[in-house]
A and B are shown apart, each in its own frame.
Chain A
Amino acid sequence: MSTHDITVTINGAMTSANVESRRSLADFLRHDVGLVGTHIGCEQGACGACTVLIGGRSVRSCIMFAVQADGADIQTVESLAPGAEMHPLQEAFRRHQGLQCGFCTPGMLLRSLELINDNPDLTAEEAREGISSNMCRCTGYQYIVDAVLDAAAEMRAEEG
């Protein structure tokens, strides 16, 4: 079956690879690039664990082929804390216990980041509606909403 040369930017770094057509973007990130922060849940686009940002927009990487992402600017959860310090969103999730098992967390973080980037002043209602795209089977939605609002406040303050 056919393979394709692709070049993508992942968390700011250019990467080239040769991928099989059927390779999902999620599997490409995990197996070929070694970025295993992107989780794979349902493999049919329903759960949102595999969410990544492309050009700043959330997409399901399990129902996108890597070859479709050729030329794209991809951001994975690993980009949030490149060093030892956690991102304000991650810190807020920890503080508010916005995670239990952690499986949905990478997707939740990136979707939340998109929501805050779109609207730094988002309300609880908007946060709740916004993360309704992602499933948390520990049923921790309330704490996630608290964390998103707190992180948004902190990020507004940092922006000054």
Chain B
Amino acid sequence: MKSPPFEYHRAGSAAEAAGLLGELGFDARILAGGQSLIPLMNLRLAAPGHLVDITGAPDLAGCGANGGGLHIGAGARQRTVELHADTLATAPVLADAISNAGQVPVRHQGTVVGSIAHADPSAEMPAAFKAQGGTVTAQGAGGTREIASEDFFEGYFTTALEEGELVTAVTVDAWPAGTGHGFLEFSVTAESWPIALAAVLIHTSGGAIDRASVVLGGVAEVPLRRPEAEAVLVGAEPGAEAFEAAAEAAATGIEPLSDSFGSGAYRKKLARVLTRRALTTAAERAGGDA
């Protein structure tokens, strides 16, 4: 089908976008890459009265290393971020996540920040962002504020953003040398949305894991951190025993829903297997002095 009618506005800057959102009220939405929003409009599942296109705003463009972390502007396209040398150096778990999301032509248009703001609980980029950790910068009529990645995702397609706010950028925190990452998902075909996914990072020092992050996607209403699994890992020697125990802990106590792609029990099983395999890959990459 075709999109319902709407008014199109082009914002030349973050401030202009925030101003337009404030002025137009609840009926206005940010238009970034449009790769989630326009299909929803074509399907008549969304019918915003106003779209504020931010992709032409120079102050929202760009992506690159920034004070140790990785800065991703709201206009930065997924494919650009995926292939960027600074992403590969600073946040390779995000590069892996992006490369698993949709098809290359969709990633040419879609933005990383748009995916994070959309907050689909089975999407790759929100899970990788939460796994590595970082900050969301939001701007509204009242000014700018920072939201920790840990606090950003509140529920199905629901974030800590308030009405009238847009995300201007996200910053992904750097992890020290000796860090390894693993990103794995299971989907019906290579091109389809994941049924479940695991995004993990571990840092090793002196032969033991001293820092770990385990986040699952597709098993809850937000990208789900698994502190019980992280507790098993920290202090342990990297290896099959620790990874099996951590995977078991990651899949214990979660209650994924069933849908036409898989039952809740199946997703639970996937969560365990994907976590174990992602940790094994992460350990190989961590190297360090382990």
B3 with A58: CB separation less than 8 A: no
Judging by beta carbons under 8 Å apart, are B106 and A21 in contact? Answer: no
Q: How many residues of A contact B (CB 8 A)?
A: 27
For B53, what are the chain A residues with a Cβ–Cβ distance below 8 Å? 68
Q: B86 → chain A, closest Cβ, in Å?
A: 21
A43-B1, A63-B34, A68-B53 given as contacts; is B8 within 8 A of A58 (CB)?
no
Q: Are B43 and A44 in contact (CB under 8 A)?
A: yes
* Choice from A24, A27, A43, A63 contacting B35 with Cβ under 8 Å: A63
From B6, B34, B38, B108, contact of A58 by CB (8 A): B108
B25 within 8 A of A: no
B104 close to chain A: CB less than 8 A: yes
The answer, yes or no, to whether A2 is at the interface (CB within 8 Å) is yes
Measured CA separation A1–B191 after assembly (Å): 36
Q: Counting CB contacts under 8 A, is B207 at the interface?
A: no
A77, chain B: closest CB distance, angstroms:
14
Q: Is the CB of A22 within 8 A of B6?
A: yes
In the complex, what residue of chain B is closest to A51 when comparing beta carbons? B105
* A43 engages B106 (CB within 8 Å): no
Residues of B within 8 A of A22 (CB): 2-6
Alpha-carbon distance between A58 and B34 when the two chains are bound, in angstroms = 15
Tell whether, in the assembled complex, residue B104 and residue A1 are in contact, meaning their CB atoms are under 8 Å apart: no
Q: Could you say which residues of chain B place their CB within 8 Å of the CB of A59? A: 105, 108-109
A62 neighbours in B (Cβ, 8 Å): 42
Q: With a CB–CB cut-off of 8 A, which chain A residues contact B31? A: 68
Within 8 A of A (CB), among B51-104: 51, 53, 55, 79, 103-104
**Does residue A142 face the partner (Cβ distance < 8 Å to B)?**
no
Whether, in the assembled complex, B265 has its beta carbon less than 8 Å from a beta carbon of chain A, the answer is no
- Chain A proximity mask over B24-60: 1 for CB below 8 Å, otherwise 0: 0000000100110011001100000001010100000
Q: Is B7 engaged at the interface, CB distance under 8 Å to the other chain?
A: yes
User: Contacts of A64 on B, CB cut-off 8 Å?
Assistant: 34, 38, 109
Closest to B53 in A: A68
Note all chain A residues with C-beta closer than 8 A to B240: none
CB of A43 within 8 A of CB of B105, answer no
Which chain B residue shows the least CB distance to A20? B5
A5 smallest CB distance to B (angstroms): 12
Closest to B9 in A: A2
Cβ of B5: which chain A residues have Cβ within 8 Å of it?
1, 20-22
1/0 per position for A110-146, CB-CB distance to B under 8 A? 0100000000000000000010110000000000000
CB of B151, distance to nearest CB on chain A (Å)? 31
A21 touches B35 (CB 8 A): no
B190 at the interface (CB under 8 A from A): yes
CA distance A1 to B43 in the complex (A): 19
Closest chain A CB from B21 CB (angstroms)? 17
- Is B191 a contact of A63 with CB atoms below 8 Å? no
Q: Which B positions have Cβ atoms within 8 angstroms of A?
A: 1-8, 31, 34-35, 38-39, 42-43, 51, 53, 55, 79, 103-106, 108-109, 190-191
With A68-B31, A130-B104, A133-B104 given, name 8 new contacts (CB 8 A): A1-B6, A2-B8, A20-B5, A22-B6, A27-B2, A48-B103, A57-B105, A132-B191
